A = this chain, B = another copy of it.
Amino acid sequence: MSEPRAATVKLVDESQATGRVAEIFADIKQTKRIDFVPHMWRALATNPTQLEVVWSSLKTLMHPEAVGREPRLDPRTREIIALAVSATNGCSYCVNSHTTALKKQGVDNETLGEIMAIVGLFNMTNSLADGYQIEPDILPPQE
């Protein structure tokens, strides 16, 4: 089956993955409970070390149950952070991916609108604070 061109590198096909890459592909599908390997991971797999570093970081932070870690934030808050960062950076793949994840968690468009409005608000105030070089009022308590 032909595949649409999708990146600056040829995505590693699941059927061709072997060794550590195949193991990580299996882990991604099981941990995320999906039946395919998303484009992102297939691109990263062109360098197995890269795949390992990024998956290991994401698994630890976004799937704490899979590593037996007690998280401080719930899954919805974690995805909201992901979307806030992605919208601020203007990353197309990431915005699509994290919006899909939030909708799967039951977030409706009106709630998404509140998230986005707040993202927009602070992109505005960030450029103003930087544009005026405003000094902090009070520093946060360190402990």
Give chain A's interface residues, CB within 8 Å of chain B. Answer: 4-10, 36, 38-40, 43-44, 46-47, 49-50, 52-54, 56-58, 60-62, 69, 71-73, 77-78, 80-100, 103, 109-143
The answer to whether B129 and A93 touch across the interface, beta carbons within 8 angstroms, is: yes
Decide: B89 and A128 in contact? CB cutoff 8 A: no
Complex CA distance for A137 and B89, rounded to whole angstroms: 19
Of B49, B84, B89, B137, which one neighbours A97 at CB under 8 angstroms? Answer: B137
In the bound complex, how far is the Cα of B126 from the Cα of A56, in angstroms?
A: 16
CB atoms of B91 and A140 under 8 A apart: no
With contact pairs A93-B135, A135-B4 given, residues A50 and B117 touching in the complex (Cβ less than 8 Å) = yes
Cβ contacts under 8 Å, A57 to chain B: 53, 56-57, 121, 124
Contact B61 A92 (CB under 8 A): no
Instruction: Collect the chain B residues with CB atoms within 8 Å of residue A36's CB.
Output: 137
Chain B residue at minimal CB-CB distance from A112: B9
Question: Contacts A6-B134, A57-B53, A127-B119; is A110 near B62 (CB within 8 Å)?
Answer: no
